Amino acid sequence: MKRRIFRRTFIIYAAVLIISVSVINVYLSSVIRNSYIDNLKKSLAIQTSVAAYAFQGISDINIDTFCRDIKEKTLARVTIIDTGGRVLGDSDQDVPTMDNHSGRPEIQQALTAPVGSAIRFSSTLQHDLLYSARKIEEHGKHTGFIRLAVPLTRINKSINSLRLRINLTVILAFLSFGIILIWQTERIRKFVIRVSDYADAIAHGLFRKKLYMEGAGEFTELARNMHNMAAELEKSIRTKDEEAERLNVILKSIPDALLLINMHGTVELSNNTARDLFAHGPIEGRPFLEVVRSPAFMHLIDEVKQARMSGSTEIVIDVPEEKYLFVRVSPLYYQVGELAGFIAIFHDTTQMKKLEQMRKDFVANVSHEIKTPVTAIQGFAETLIDGALYDRENAEKFLHTIKDHSSRLNRLLEDLLTISRLELGVISIVKTEVNLVDIIESVMNTVLIHAAKKDLRITKNTGQGNVFINADRDRTEQILLNLVDNAVKFTEKGEVEIGLSQEGGKGFFYVRDSGPGIPEKYLSRVGERFFRVDPSRSRELGGTGLGLAIVKHLVRAHGWDMKIESEEGRGTTVKVYY
């Protein structure tokens, strides 16, 4: 804008000035000329009448003198003509050289009118002349014509001088008006720039900016209106922002993944859960099939589109990891009857599925674990009933087998009960100050005989003095007993060490053996219920497959951590950080 207003105003103004001056010139020239000639005609007619009157009684010899006398007084050329048109005398020219004047328009007019007049170019004088003629009458008889002529050069001079003065006045008026206009334009330009800067600031969100326009006429009102407008704008933007923020918070706090898909199949909106769930780059603006790679989901969208009713299904996605999702899709309407898109809500059921699977596995495992001893007990009992009871030697063997399987069943039921109680929270951890060294000694004494039978050395590494920690005594003893039991059970030769140590300022107790170790690929699974590296060997050794699961539970219930380090063929160390 800068100086555009100024330039435009200047151009318009200059054009108006030029047009005005030209119009005034043309108009004035014609009006003044006409009025001037009119006046001149009248005055010349009067002079002609006076001269005609004065001519009465003038003899033929004195005509030229008369003509010159009259010219002296009126400054007009005087010509006397007889009724036939012959020139009798002239103030300016030699009469004999002059042709017949009866055809001259002013003479013709004078025949019928009191005065005849005409304007004609004089080739002798090289300019226009105004002629005025009338009859000369003596005693009521027409004796000839008198004609007066004045050059029109004076008219042109007068018109030019008048025109010059008028033009000068007009230009001066225009110039003074122009200066005022320039000053006003400049003032308006500055106001407009201020308003424009203000509008620019508002457009950039600077609502606190003020527009000062005191004493600026209508601009003061404009400034007030713009302030009101800015305040209204700020209010409505703030309301919109708050609404958007509220929607954002609601979207964020929805624990399920949410996608808003438009009719072109593009994702328009998503929440954080969706971004985490389908984590492969930004979601908004991408086709939904790229985001949720599931044919079942695509079919569901198609179904909802056709039926215009909500629908749901279960889908599995495997990017970035396998997930089971329950998805519900609802049609979205912004205007009644006009389908605008779809809202899809994905509920992650992976955990539920896993728990379901675990429950199924657990039931299957328990049934399997129970079936073997029950079948054996049933089989041997039937054999005894069928007669073996009287075969003393075998009967005793069978009864021992029945007892072994019953004990196994008993251990299994006890372990299952412990796990169930731990999961139900029936077993609670009551922490008191306990001496770990005491517990280690007690556990050692319990397994000593069993270890001696296998020719295993049991050592303890507890250092000097006692170590007190906050723990549930019985449960800590159970943890250690299960770990030492496993170590003794799986180690064929060498030693089992129970000890206390520290790592990174954290104390822990451990059980280390020189047994077969656990293959690395199974390390993460050891501790799952009924998981064994070698199931038949574990059963053979009287294991239930629940020992480490119970340990894991108890460690977690104490708020501790457990770590299993093992190397195949070299041994296993289980550490419990308290």
- Please state the closest distance from residue 427 (CB atom) to ligand ADP, in A: 18
For residue 471, the minimal CB distance to ligand ADP (Å) is 21
The distance of closest approach from Cβ of residue 518 to ligand ADP in the complex, given in angstroms and rounded to an integer, is: 5
* Nearest by Cα to 171 from 368, 382, 17: 17
237: left (phi over 0), alpha (psi -120 to 50) or beta: alpha
Positions touching ligand ADP (CB under 6 A) are 486-487, 490, 513, 515-516, 518, 526, 531-534, 538, 543-549, 572
To ligand ADP, the closest distance from the beta carbon of 281 in angstroms equals: 42
When the beta carbons of 134 and 512 are compared against ligand ADP, the nearer one is 512
When the beta carbons of 326 and 362 are compared against ligand ADP, the nearer one is 362
Closest distance of CB 484 from ligand ADP, Å:
9
In order, the DSSP letters of 426-458 are -S----EEEEHHHHHHHHHHHHHHHHHHTT-EE
Nearer to ligand ADP, 168 or 417 (CB): 417
Name the helix (H) or strand (E) containing 214. Answer: none
Cα first-last separation, the chain: 78
User: Cβ 458 to ligand ADP, closest distance in Å?
Assistant: 14
- Pick the closer one to ligand ADP by CB: 144 or 547: 547
| Strand 457-461 relative to strand 495-503, pairing | parallel
SS3 call for 494: coil
Number of H-type helices and E-type strands within the chain: 14, 17
Comparison of 270 and 538: residue with beta carbon closer to ligand ADP: 538
Six-digit token string for 264: 């072109």
CB-nearer residue toward ligand ADP: 223 or 456: 456
Report how far apart, in Å, the C-alpha atoms of 518 and of each of 85, 514, 521, 522, 536 are.
157, 11, 8, 7, 15
Least separation in angstroms between CB 507 and ligand ADP = 22
Within 10 A of 528 (CB to CB), how many other CB atoms are there? 15
Contacts of 483 (CB under 8 A, 6+ apart): 511, 551, 574, 576
Using H for helix, E for strand and C for coil, what is the string for 219-279?
HHHHHHHHHHHHHHHHHHHHHHHHHHHHHHHHHHHCCCEEEEEECCCEEEEECHHHHHHCC
- Smaller CB separation from ligand ADP, 132 or 478: 478
The least distance separating ligand ADP from the CB of residue 468, rounded to whole angstroms, comes to: 27
Q: Do 56 and 144 contact (CB within 8 A), yes or no?
A: no
- Cβ-proximal residue to ligand ADP, closest one: 543
CA dist 280 and 257 (Å) reads 14
One-letter identity of residue 29: S
Nearer to ligand ADP, 388 or 526 (CB): 526
User: C-beta of 455: minimal distance to ligand ADP in Å?
Assistant: 17
Q: Which residue's CB is nearer to ligand ADP, number 311 or number 545?
A: 545
